[in-house]
Amino acid sequence: MLLIKNLSKQFGALKAVDDISFEVKDGEIFCIIGPNGAGKTTIIKTTVGLLAPDKGTITVGGKDVVLFPQATKSIIGYIPDDPSVWPGMTGEEFLHFVGTLFGVPEQERMERVKKLLSIFELEGIEKNYFETYSRGNKQKFSILAALLHKPKLLLVDEPVVGLDPLSVRRAKDLFVRLAKDEGVSIFIATHTLSFAQEVADQVGVMDHGRMIARGTVDELRAKAKLHNETTLEDIYLALTGNSFPSA
Protein backbone atom coordinates (compact mmCIF):
# COMPACT_ATOMS: atom_id res chain seq x y z
CA MET A 1 0.00 0.00 0.00
CA LEU A 2 2.85 2.39 0.84
CA LEU A 3 6.18 2.10 -0.95
CA ILE A 4 9.00 4.53 -0.28
CA LYS A 5 12.18 4.33 -2.37
CA ASN A 6 15.38 6.31 -1.72
CA LEU A 7 13.52 9.17 -0.10
CA SER A 8 15.58 12.22 0.90
CA LYS A 9 14.48 15.57 2.27
CA GLN A 10 16.74 18.44 3.29
CA PHE A 11 16.10 21.71 5.11
CA GLY A 12 19.07 23.99 4.52
CA ALA A 13 22.13 22.15 5.80
CA LEU A 14 20.00 19.62 7.71
CA LYS A 15 19.27 16.34 5.94
CA ALA A 16 16.07 15.36 7.75
CA VAL A 17 15.56 12.17 5.72
CA ASP A 18 18.56 10.48 4.14
CA ASP A 19 17.97 7.91 1.37
CA ILE A 20 15.27 5.86 3.11
CA SER A 21 13.44 2.91 1.55
CA PHE A 22 10.73 0.69 3.04
CA GLU A 23 7.18 -0.53 2.45
CA VAL A 24 3.98 -0.97 4.41
CA LYS A 25 1.91 -3.90 3.19
CA ASP A 26 -1.87 -4.20 3.05
CA GLY A 27 -3.28 -4.69 6.53
CA GLU A 28 0.09 -4.11 8.20
CA ILE A 29 0.92 -1.80 11.10
CA PHE A 30 4.38 -0.28 10.70
CA CYS A 31 5.67 1.81 13.60
CA ILE A 32 8.66 4.07 13.19
CA ILE A 33 10.57 5.15 16.29
CA GLY A 34 13.52 7.41 16.90
CA PRO A 35 14.71 10.51 18.75
CA ASN A 36 13.42 14.03 18.16
CA GLY A 37 14.64 15.27 14.80
CA ALA A 38 15.20 11.77 13.40
CA GLY A 39 12.95 12.47 10.39
CA LYS A 40 9.79 10.59 11.38
CA THR A 41 7.35 13.47 10.93
CA THR A 42 9.09 14.55 7.72
CA ILE A 43 8.36 11.14 6.18
CA ILE A 44 4.69 11.41 7.10
CA LYS A 45 4.32 14.99 5.85
CA THR A 46 6.05 14.09 2.58
CA THR A 47 3.78 11.07 2.11
CA VAL A 48 0.62 13.07 2.75
CA GLY A 49 1.75 15.83 0.38
CA LEU A 50 2.53 18.63 2.84
CA LEU A 51 6.20 18.51 1.82
CA ALA A 52 7.79 17.72 -1.52
CA PRO A 53 10.58 15.11 -1.65
CA ASP A 54 14.01 16.26 -2.78
CA LYS A 55 14.86 12.81 -4.04
CA GLY A 56 13.19 9.42 -4.34
CA THR A 57 9.58 8.32 -4.82
CA ILE A 58 6.56 7.63 -2.66
CA THR A 59 3.70 5.54 -4.01
CA VAL A 60 0.36 4.93 -2.33
CA GLY A 61 -1.82 2.22 -3.78
CA GLY A 62 0.58 2.01 -6.71
CA LYS A 63 0.39 5.72 -7.59
CA ASP A 64 3.07 8.36 -7.13
CA VAL A 65 2.01 10.95 -4.54
CA VAL A 66 3.65 13.77 -6.53
CA LEU A 67 2.20 12.83 -9.91
CA PHE A 68 -1.26 11.83 -8.62
CA PRO A 69 -1.84 13.94 -5.48
CA GLN A 70 -5.64 13.91 -5.53
CA ALA A 71 -5.96 10.18 -6.15
CA THR A 72 -3.48 9.27 -3.41
CA LYS A 73 -4.83 11.74 -0.85
CA SER A 74 -8.33 10.37 -1.39
CA ILE A 75 -7.32 7.03 0.15
CA ILE A 76 -5.13 8.44 2.95
CA GLY A 77 -6.26 9.26 6.47
CA TYR A 78 -3.92 11.62 8.34
CA ILE A 79 -3.73 12.12 12.11
CA PRO A 80 -1.20 14.90 12.87
CA ASP A 81 0.77 15.22 16.09
CA ASP A 82 -1.13 18.40 16.96
CA PRO A 83 -4.91 18.30 16.33
CA SER A 84 -5.82 20.74 13.55
CA VAL A 85 -9.21 22.00 14.69
CA TRP A 86 -11.13 25.29 14.74
CA PRO A 87 -12.10 26.70 18.17
CA GLY A 88 -15.46 28.01 16.88
CA MET A 89 -16.54 24.69 15.36
CA THR A 90 -18.22 21.84 17.19
CA GLY A 91 -16.87 18.33 17.10
CA GLU A 92 -19.87 17.17 15.09
CA GLU A 93 -19.47 20.01 12.58
CA PHE A 94 -15.79 19.15 12.21
CA LEU A 95 -16.52 15.51 11.41
CA HIS A 96 -19.13 16.44 8.81
CA PHE A 97 -16.83 19.08 7.34
CA VAL A 98 -14.01 16.58 6.86
CA GLY A 99 -16.40 13.97 5.48
CA THR A 100 -17.73 16.50 2.96
CA LEU A 101 -14.19 17.31 1.79
CA PHE A 102 -13.69 13.64 1.02
CA GLY A 103 -17.03 13.38 -0.79
CA VAL A 104 -18.79 11.13 1.72
CA PRO A 105 -22.57 11.30 1.01
CA GLU A 106 -24.70 12.93 3.71
CA GLN A 107 -26.61 9.82 4.79
CA GLU A 108 -23.40 7.81 5.01
CA ARG A 109 -21.77 10.64 6.96
CA MET A 110 -24.63 10.64 9.47
CA GLU A 111 -24.27 6.91 10.02
CA ARG A 112 -20.47 7.01 10.17
CA VAL A 113 -20.35 9.92 12.61
CA LYS A 114 -22.74 8.18 14.99
CA LYS A 115 -20.71 4.97 14.87
CA LEU A 116 -17.35 6.72 15.25
CA LEU A 117 -18.44 8.81 18.24
CA SER A 118 -19.14 5.62 20.17
CA ILE A 119 -15.50 4.45 19.88
CA PHE A 120 -14.33 6.99 22.45
CA GLU A 121 -17.78 7.52 24.05
CA LEU A 122 -17.96 11.11 22.80
CA GLU A 123 -21.76 11.16 22.60
CA GLY A 124 -23.01 14.18 24.48
CA ILE A 125 -20.09 16.53 23.80
CA GLU A 126 -20.15 16.45 20.00
CA LYS A 127 -22.25 19.63 19.87
CA ASN A 128 -19.82 21.56 22.10
CA TYR A 129 -17.21 23.84 20.57
CA PHE A 130 -13.59 22.80 20.27
CA GLU A 131 -12.52 25.71 22.46
CA THR A 132 -14.18 23.88 25.39
CA TYR A 133 -12.48 20.54 24.69
CA SER A 134 -9.45 19.12 26.47
CA ARG A 135 -6.31 18.28 24.47
CA GLY A 136 -7.28 14.62 24.67
CA ASN A 137 -10.79 15.14 23.29
CA LYS A 138 -9.41 17.23 20.43
CA GLN A 139 -7.09 14.32 19.65
CA LYS A 140 -10.00 11.85 19.70
CA PHE A 141 -11.98 13.91 17.17
CA SER A 142 -8.84 14.20 15.02
CA ILE A 143 -8.54 10.41 15.00
CA LEU A 144 -12.20 9.94 14.10
CA ALA A 145 -12.07 12.56 11.31
CA ALA A 146 -9.26 10.63 9.63
CA LEU A 147 -11.47 7.54 9.47
CA LEU A 148 -14.66 9.06 8.02
CA HIS A 149 -13.88 8.25 4.39
CA LYS A 150 -12.63 4.73 5.21
CA PRO A 151 -8.99 5.27 4.13
CA LYS A 152 -6.85 2.44 2.85
CA LEU A 153 -3.71 3.99 4.36
CA LEU A 154 -3.68 5.66 7.76
CA LEU A 155 -0.76 7.97 8.63
CA VAL A 156 -0.48 8.65 12.35
CA ASP A 157 1.95 11.05 14.03
CA GLU A 158 2.04 10.48 17.81
CA PRO A 159 -1.41 8.88 18.18
CA VAL A 160 -1.84 8.83 21.95
CA VAL A 161 -0.44 12.18 23.13
CA GLY A 162 -2.92 13.64 25.62
CA LEU A 163 -5.10 10.53 25.82
CA ASP A 164 -6.08 8.98 29.14
CA PRO A 165 -5.15 5.29 29.72
CA LEU A 166 -8.59 3.96 28.75
CA SER A 167 -8.57 5.97 25.52
CA VAL A 168 -5.05 4.73 24.76
CA ARG A 169 -6.33 1.18 25.04
CA ARG A 170 -9.26 1.98 22.77
CA ALA A 171 -6.92 3.56 20.23
CA LYS A 172 -4.74 0.44 20.26
CA ASP A 173 -7.74 -1.82 19.75
CA LEU A 174 -9.05 0.46 17.01
CA PHE A 175 -5.83 0.40 14.99
CA VAL A 176 -5.40 -3.35 15.34
CA ARG A 177 -9.01 -3.94 14.28
CA LEU A 178 -8.68 -1.65 11.26
CA ALA A 179 -5.58 -3.49 10.11
CA LYS A 180 -6.63 -7.07 10.80
CA ASP A 181 -10.35 -6.91 10.00
CA GLU A 182 -10.53 -4.20 7.32
CA GLY A 183 -7.09 -4.48 5.72
CA VAL A 184 -6.11 -0.87 6.42
CA SER A 185 -2.38 -0.21 6.23
CA ILE A 186 -1.21 1.92 9.16
CA PHE A 187 2.04 3.86 9.42
CA ILE A 188 2.67 5.29 12.91
CA ALA A 189 5.43 7.58 14.14
CA THR A 190 5.67 7.53 17.92
CA HIS A 191 7.84 8.01 20.97
CA THR A 192 5.52 5.78 23.02
CA LEU A 193 7.53 2.59 22.65
CA SER A 194 5.14 0.44 24.70
CA PHE A 195 2.36 1.40 22.26
CA ALA A 196 4.54 0.44 19.28
CA GLN A 197 5.52 -2.86 20.86
CA GLU A 198 1.88 -3.84 21.38
CA VAL A 199 0.47 -2.97 17.95
CA ALA A 200 3.30 -3.11 15.40
CA ASP A 201 3.82 -5.87 12.87
CA GLN A 202 7.02 -4.14 11.78
CA VAL A 203 9.16 -1.54 13.54
CA GLY A 204 11.64 0.83 11.93
CA VAL A 205 14.33 2.52 14.03
CA MET A 206 15.48 5.91 12.79
CA ASP A 207 18.45 8.00 13.83
CA HIS A 208 19.81 11.17 12.19
CA GLY A 209 17.56 10.81 9.16
CA ARG A 210 18.44 7.20 8.38
CA MET A 211 16.70 3.90 8.99
CA ILE A 212 19.25 1.98 11.05
CA ALA A 213 17.15 -1.14 11.65
CA ARG A 214 13.83 -2.64 10.58
CA GLY A 215 11.91 -5.80 11.41
CA THR A 216 9.61 -7.43 13.92
CA VAL A 217 10.25 -6.80 17.61
CA ASP A 218 11.79 -10.29 17.86
CA GLU A 219 14.04 -9.61 14.86
CA LEU A 220 15.18 -6.30 16.30
CA ARG A 221 15.78 -7.96 19.68
CA ALA A 222 18.03 -10.53 17.98
CA LYS A 223 19.84 -7.77 16.08
CA ALA A 224 20.47 -5.97 19.37
CA LYS A 225 21.63 -9.27 20.93
CA LEU A 226 19.21 -9.00 23.83
CA HIS A 227 17.27 -11.70 25.68
CA ASN A 228 13.60 -12.48 25.06
CA GLU A 229 12.21 -10.49 27.99
CA THR A 230 13.66 -7.15 26.89
CA THR A 231 11.25 -4.40 25.88
CA LEU A 232 11.27 -2.28 22.75
CA GLU A 233 12.70 0.52 24.88
CA ASP A 234 15.72 -1.66 25.72
CA ILE A 235 16.05 -2.65 22.07
CA TYR A 236 15.85 0.97 20.92
CA LEU A 237 18.52 2.12 23.38
CA ALA A 238 20.83 -0.71 22.35
CA LEU A 239 20.42 -0.14 18.62
CA THR A 240 20.96 3.62 18.88
CA GLY A 241 23.94 3.24 21.20
CA ASN A 242 22.28 5.06 24.07
CA SER A 243 21.97 4.19 27.74
CA PHE A 244 20.67 5.84 30.87
CA PRO A 245 23.27 7.41 33.15
CA SER A 246 23.85 5.75 36.48
CA ALA A 247 22.00 7.23 39.45
- In this prediction, residue 228 carries a pLDDT of 82
| Residue-wise pLDDT tens digits, 113-132 | 999 999 999 999 999 999 99
Q: Which pLDDT band, with edges at 50, 70 and 90, does 242 fall under?
A: low
Neighbours of 64 (CB within 10 A): 14
Confidence of residue 162 (pLDDT cuts 50, 70, 90): confident
How far apart are the C-alpha atoms of 90 and 174, rounded to whole Å?
A: 23
Residue 154 has pLDDT above 50, yes or no: yes
Domain layout of the chain by residue ranges: 1-75+151-247, 85-150
- Give the pLDDT of residue 247: 35
Give the percent of the chain with pLDDT over 70: 98
Q: Give the DSSP per-residue string, 13-65.
A: TEEEEEEEEEEE-TT-EEEEE--TTSSHHHHHHHHHTSS--SEEEEEETTEET
241: left (phi over 0), alpha (psi -120 to 50) or beta: left
Q: Rounded mean pLDDT of 158-179?
A: 92
Check residue 1 and give its pLDDT: 96
Q: CB within 8 A of 175, min separation 6: which ones?
A: 29, 154, 156, 159, 186, 188, 199
Mean pLDDT (whole number) for 7-22? 95
The whole-chain average pLDDT of the chain stands at: 93
Residue 77 backbone class (left: φ over 0; alpha: ψ -120 to 50; beta: rest) = beta
Q: State pLDDT tens for residues 204-231.
A: 999 989 999 999 999 999 999 998 888 9
Across 145-151, average pLDDT? 95
The edge-to-edge listing of strands for the beta sheet with 76-79 is 76-79, 153-157, 185-189, 29-33, 202-207, 210-215
Question: For domain 1-75+151-247, is the CATH number 3.50.50.60?
Answer: no
Instruction: Give residue 159's pLDDT.
Output: 84
Provide the pLDDT confidence category of residue 87 given band limits of 50, 70 and 90: confident
